[in-house]
Amino acid sequence: MVSRAVRVPSWQECDLAGLCSRAGAFAFDLDNTLARSKSRMGDDMASSLAALARHRPVAIISGGRFEQIRDQVLAVLPPETPKMRIHVMPTSGTRYYRWEDGDWRQVYAHDLTADERRAAMASLERRAREQGDWEENVWGPRIEDRGSQITFSALGQQAPVEAKEAWDPDNERKDRLARAVAADLPDLQVRSGGSTSVDISARGMDKAYAVRSLAGILGLATDEILFVGDRMDPDGNDYPAATAGALALRVRDPDDALLLVRELNRCLGGV
């Protein structure tokens, strides 16, 4: 099925009260939406997100691993957060966790085979070297096997935020790399990810799959999920959520996203 092309508006262009009346749940990208890349979510965002969860279920849908979401988001949430209303979908929704019996429990995982993971890692290194994206000086591993997703980080997994944001500000380098790797791996899904990353998973396993799965879990229609992300261009890893039919909104960065979450709470009668 060919996804329909959509234009994703900035939240400031929209009737938020109208969207809140339609939305049965809110879903958020993590990096450069709820928090800067690999950084902990701010206290203001944590308290605002917790308040939002008291009104509607809240999901975090990220290309990162569960441990990244745990450290950046879950560990920062205030004690009064209704954790049963938080849904965690790491590695672009290829895994799903929820709060059960006092801990975060994995509900499903769609892992790649060993052969698929080897082919993905080989293509990433070969194409990155060809295109001049295999940087000599890096912070940590360039390629990470996340089981259900292989992720390439051009500057390494622990690169400073400032270096990552400066490496490819217009997304051209990682978009070009993603296209080259996709040609090598026609049976897998290859996406341009965060500031310096390219993500590979099973075909069909992207944020469109994530929002559809979330809708099914919550007993909602896909167009009752309001999804917020910063990479809403057609090559961005948040864009599939929009093509799946979610109520998609674009934010510039975490500061912009905080303003949005505060407005959502206000529309829902909170603070």
The DSSP code sequence of 96-137 is EEEEETTEEEEEEE-PPPHHHHHHHHHHHHHHHHHTT-S-SS
The residue from 173, 201, 229 where one domain ends is 201
| Residue 71 near residue 60, CB atoms below 8 Å | no
* CATH code of the domain in which 89 resides: 3.40.50.1000
The residue from 201, 219, 250 where one domain ends is 201
122 & 51 share domain: no
Q: Residue 4: its pLDDT value, please?
A: 59
CA 232 to chain centre: 11
3: in domain: no
105 & 68 share domain: yes
75: in domain: yes
Q: pLDDT by residue for the chain (271 residues), tens digit each?
A: 445 578 999 999 999 999 999 999 999 999 999 999 889 999 999 999 999 999 999 999 998 899 999 999 999 999 999 999 999 999 989 899 999 999 999 999 999 999 999 999 999 999 999 999 999 999 999 999 989 999 999 999 889 989 998 999 998 999 999 999 999 999 999 988 878 999 999 998 899 999 999 999 999 999 999 999 998 988 888 999 999 999 999 999 999 999 999 999 999 986 5
Query: What is the domain extent for residue 180?
Result: 114-201
Task: Record the tokens describing residue 96, joined without a space.
Answer: 């799903």
Q: Residue 37: its pLDDT value, please?
A: 82
Q: Residue 193: its pLDDT value, please?
A: 81
The residue from 201, 223, 247 where one domain ends is 201
Q: Residue 254: its pLDDT value, please?
A: 97
Domains in the chain: how many in total? Answer: 2
52 & 75 share domain: yes
4: in domain: no
Q: What is the residue whose two structure tokens read 């961005």?
A: 236
> What span, in angstroms and rounded, lies between the C-alpha atoms of 28 and 179?
25
